[in-house]
Structure 1
Amino acid sequence: MKIDGRKARKLTPKQLRFVHEFCYHTLTGQQSASESARKAGYSDAIARKSAYELQDPNKYPLVAEAIYDLKKELQDKYSVNMDKHLARLDSLSKRAEEEKHYAASINAEALRGKASGLYDPTIRMESAIENLTREQLVAKLNELQKKGIGIAGEENIIDVTPEKEQPKLIED
């Protein structure tokens, strides 16, 4: 638990313990705030009231601020973003492969591919459309139109079919 040293010196040992218990156990749903207060050393008779008051920034601003800081630190540490997720799956895949757990390695790689969008059919469709020639694309669009499938925004489509070149007149 990292709490600014200056703040930590201003909190009592019970308050510091409550901040730890609250952030690591109450916020994760493992115990109630009252239980966090009891584990911090508050008596059973006042644990519920203490747990409520200790979170009140008007009554205990340093405790509330320490809870906020530790909560933010934990969110940063355990948050999931694409880079962290892909790196973790890559690490798990390599470690499983090194230990000859090929099924686990393949599973981690498959999950990494899914997270990256490699198995998303809409992505493959877009890629396929991008690779079509103009004639192939027009044929696909005509096929969709025959099936009665409208094209979003088709009223804004402009036909850019080049006209046949007219013979140029020679000027004197």
Structure 2
Amino acid sequence: MGLPRQLTEKQMKFAELLVYNEGRKSASECAYEAGYKTRPRQAASELRNPRISPLVVQYIGELRREIQEKYQVDLGRHLGELAKLRDDAMKKGAWSAAINAEVARGKAGGLYVDQKLILSGNLDNMSEKELEAKMAKILDDHKNLIDISPEESQSKSEIEQHPVSD
């Protein structure tokens, strides 16, 4: 028994159903729908086996490559599609969708940079001098926000003479 020289209609239909419904239908469902009614699971297995059905496997590969080329994501196409979605949303007055599409375009174009700053420091590990220096720097950095007039602040000697009791 030799290899067939071309695909049958049922084999082509199976391959097309398999590729175009990827993730939505199982291989056995595609085989059944293609006309393999008696043993669809076994037919699906045989049709995807390169030793048993090399032409079907080759055709499935060609279809997948076509789809990859058609839906391939590259920056220009992606930005163009987002611009189209933005424009369509603006025409419909869907401002939130339009803004989201424009932000997505900006991110894809590298205009936005997500930054996460993780500071690790522990006041418990600082000496008293380091704490005082840190507090003085904070006061100096934010003197326009923090207004401590001399009348409100107590000197160190006053605090020592009148300790706060619990």
Q: TM-score normalised to the size of structure 2?
A: 0.61
Match of 1:170 in 2: none
Match of 1:23 in 2: 19
Cα separation, 2, equivalents of 1:94 and 1:32: 37
Name which one, 1 or 2, has greater alpha-carbon Rg. 2
Cα separation, 2, equivalents of 1:96 and 1:19: 37
Percent identity of paired positions between Structure 1 and Structure 2? 43
Cα separation, 1, equivalents of 2:18 and 2:102: 37
Match of 1:32 in 2: 26
Structure that is richer in helix per residue: 1
Match of 2:46 in 1: 53
AA at the equivalent of 1:100: G
2:84 aligns with one of 83, 91, 95: 91
Q: Runs of 5+ in structure 1 lacking a partner?
A: 1-8, 123-172
Q: How do 1:85-164 residues align onto structure 2 when only pairs under 5 Å count?
A: 85-121=78-114
Aligned to 1:10, what secondary structure does the other structure show?
A: coil
Moved over 6 A (4+): none
Cα separation, 2, equivalents of 1:12 and 1:60: 11
1:121 Cα deviation from its structure 2 partner: 4.8
Count of equivalent residues: 111
Cα separation, 2, equivalents of 1:101 and 1:32: 37
RMSD between aligned residues: 1.8
Aligned to 1:51, what secondary structure does the other structure show?
A: helix
Cα deviation, 1:123-142, whole Å, max 9, x if unaligned, reads xxxxxxxxxxxxxxxxxxxx
Q: Runs of 5+ in structure 2 lacking a partner?
A: 116-166
2:67 aligns with one of 58, 74, 89: 74
Inter-CA distance 113–58: structure 2 relative to 1 (3 Å threshold): same
Cα deviation, 1:67-94, whole Å, max 9, x if unaligned, reads 0000111112223222221111011112
Match of 1:11 in 2: 7
1:98 Cα deviation from its structure 2 partner: 2.5
Cα separation, 2, equivalents of 1:22 and 1:101: 37
Cα separation, 2, equivalents of 1:121 and 1:97: 26
Inter-CA distance 14–118: structure 2 relative to 1 (3 Å threshold): same
Cα separation, 2, equivalents of 1:103 and 1:63: 46
